Amino acid sequence: MKAITPILVSFAVTRECNLTCKHCYSLSVDSPHPKELNTVEAKRLISQIAESGARLIIFDGGEPLMRHDIFELVHHARDVGLTPVMGSNGTLISREIAMKLAEAGLEAIAISLDGVDAKTHDAFRDVQGA
């Protein structure tokens, strides 16, 4: 029987998040999990994902930009042959952050909009100005 190779892997790199969205499935909170993978462990896992034959890795969470080493993890994913993309709430993305993500090798980023106007979106995200 032929082994099934994953096409993509979604890697929740942290549970830490700066929002409290009503739809959150990852039980995100305002601090990382005490047993969250450190940089070395996360890079080892990313290498294993690449070795499995996957082609795409989605960095999500929580909010992946809450991790201090996210640029290093994205760069490592690119180095081991994965196409890195990200799911983010978008609140931490500045021009500088966007440039650093691009330089690290991030291919794309998805940001959810949860309403037709700011009031609806902010109510869903539970933070004014989100």
From CA 115, how far away is CA 24, in angstroms rounded? 15
* 3-class state of residue 84 by DSSP: strand
- pLDDT at residue 8 above 70? yes
Which pLDDT score is estimated for 24? 67
- Kindly state the DSSP code that residue 66 receives in the 8-state scheme: G
Is residue 28 within 8 A of residue 87, CB to CB? The reply is no
Give whole-number Cα distances, 33 to 9, 14, 15, 28, 37, in Å. 20, 7, 6, 9, 9
Question: What was the pLDDT predicted at 80?
Answer: 98
- The residues spanned by each domain of the chain are 8-125
Architecture of domain 8-125: Alpha-Beta Barrel (3.20)
Q: Look up the pTM and report it.
A: 0.88
Task: Tell whether the torsion through CA atoms of 109, 65, 104 and 46 is positive or negative.
Answer: negative
How confident is the model at residue 126, as a pLDDT? 66
H or E element, residue 48: helix 39-51
Tens-digit pLDDT profile for residues 41-92: 999 999 999 999 999 999 998 899 999 999 999 999 999 999 999 999 999 9
